[in-house]
Amino acid sequence: MTTVSFSGLSLAPVEPSDEDAIRQWYELRSAVVSADAPDDPPPCWVYELGSFRHPPASEIQAVWVARVGGSVVGGCCLDLPMLDNQHNAHGEILVAPEHRRRGIGRALLAHLRAEAARQRRVRLVFWVEQPLDPAAPDPAGQFAAVSGARPALFQTLRRLDVGSVEPAMLARLNEQARVKSQGYSLVQWVGSTPQRWLDDIAYLEGRMSTDAPLDDLQWDPEVYDAARIQAHDARSRARGLHMVTTGAVDSVGRLVAFTQISGYATARWFGGQWNTIVAPEHRGHRLGTLIKVANLDLARTQRPELRVIDTCNADSNPYMIGINEVMGFRPHRRATDWQLDL
Ligand SMILES: CC(C)(COP(=O)(O)OP(=O)(O)OC[C@H]1O[C@@H](n2cnc3c(N)ncnc32)[C@H](O)[C@@H]1OP(=O)(O)O)[C@@H](O)C(=O)NCCC(=O)NCCS
């Protein structure tokens, strides 16, 4: 895609102290979600405000709002990892539904490319959600395809209709998993990681970036320690996230597997599946199933209004997909990481 300057478009960074600009960004995102993914939870104000007020310790995040004649027509974000992946950047572009197909997306991409290059990044990665039906309208996929990016990691977002899960099926899964996982015990918590598990969670978080398939995505191993986990937890609190975690502990007292479900301060009917990982030498004992079934139970107890949980897996990850399908998660949307070499 060639660089196009869009006449009359002004781009202004959103400062964490500027609540009016943060609200404009939030309203833009709300309009985009309601147009493109009306069955998703509406964006949560506590989450958006907290994201600006409590930036991550591990990366620099910049957000711009684009205006034409004073009206917000779009916006974009650039995330620059600082502890690892210092050649990479993550981008996001939003164009207000009534202002699409006028070149604003192109102009925002040109801006992100220039900013990322200025920060000495060699590639930009975009997370793009696309419909399952190849015949359905796919503005984001079409946009990505003409941008010069290439699809690097193919994923499918699966959705669980929590009300349709049969307790007898979960009990059966739990029983089968318990038989194969003797010698392990479960621990659960709500909120931040307890001090005693910080190092083990840091190890497992780091492995998420090497053990989950990346296909052609050029993403370096991420580096975690206890301090990074604590900073991450503090940010989750600031964003109003309700985190529910289940872990498995081995016979010598190490946490060797964990899984998490997040919930927003608003839209309490919705849960997001975060990481699930079993340490390599503990795989094959049904720990993945054991912790996921137990965590679903805890999440439902914590939030009886929970109706939907979304999870996203690489299409090349049959083990995780197998567990999710057995639990009742069903394909809902495609999600692709597109990589643009700068
Ligand atoms: C994807 C998105 C950013 C595109 O914004 P936009 O301002 O409409 O994009 P542009 O007008 O600059 O389009 C550039 C090119 O992308 C392609 N494109 C964009 N939307 C398209 C659509 N609905 N159908 C087919 N092609 C499309 C076209 O090739 C277009 O060039 P053309 O208009 O000269 O044919 C916008 O649809 C959006 O905000 N979607 C929701 C958020 C999102 O998914 N962002 C992408 C992930 S970061």
Contact 115, 78 (CB under 8 A): yes
Kindly report the pTM of this predicted structure: 0.93
Query: Starting at the edge strand that comes first in sequence, how are the strands of the sheet with 123-130 ordered?
Result: 9-13, 59-68, 71-81, 88-95, 123-130, 330-341, 150-161, 308-314, 270-278, 255-263, 242-249, 185-190
Q: What was the pLDDT predicted at 6?
A: 65
- Closest protein CA for atom 15 of ligand 1: 143
Residues in the chain: 342
Mean pLDDT score of the chain, rounded to an integer? 96
283 lines ligand 1 (CB under 6 A): no
142 lines ligand 1 (CB under 6 A): yes
pLDDT in tens, 222-261: 999 999 999 999 999 999 999 999 999 999 999 999 999 9
pLDDT in tens, 109-165: 999 999 999 999 999 999 999 999 999 999 999 999 999 999 999 999 999 999 999
Q: Name the CATH superfamily housing domain 159-335.
A: Gcn5-related N-acetyltransferase (GNAT) (3.40.630.30)
Q: What angle do CA 99, 103, 106 make, to 5 degrees?
A: 120
Stretch 181-186: mean pLDDT: 98
160 lines ligand 1 (CB under 6 A): no
Burial of 175 per CB tally in 10 Å (0-12, 13-18, 19+): exposed
Residue 2 has pLDDT above 70, yes or no: no
pLDDT in tens, 300-319: 999 999 999 999 999 999 99
Topology classification of domain 9-121: Aminopeptidase (3.40.630)
Q: What was the pLDDT predicted at 4?
A: 43
* Listed residue (101, 98, 100, 118) closest to 110, CA to CA: 118
CATH 3.40.630.30 in the chain, residue ranges = 9-121, 159-335
Q: How far is the CA of 311 from the centre of ligand 1 (A)?
A: 25
User: Given the CA of residue 74, which atom of ligand 1 is nearest to it?
Assistant: 39
100 lines ligand 1 (CB under 6 A): yes
Residue type at position 205: E
Q: How confident is the model at residue 276 (pLDDT cuts 50, 70, 90)?
A: very high
Q: How confident is the model at residue 7 (pLDDT cuts 50, 70, 90)?
A: confident
User: Given the CA of residue 36, which atom of ligand 1 is nearest to it?
Assistant: 41
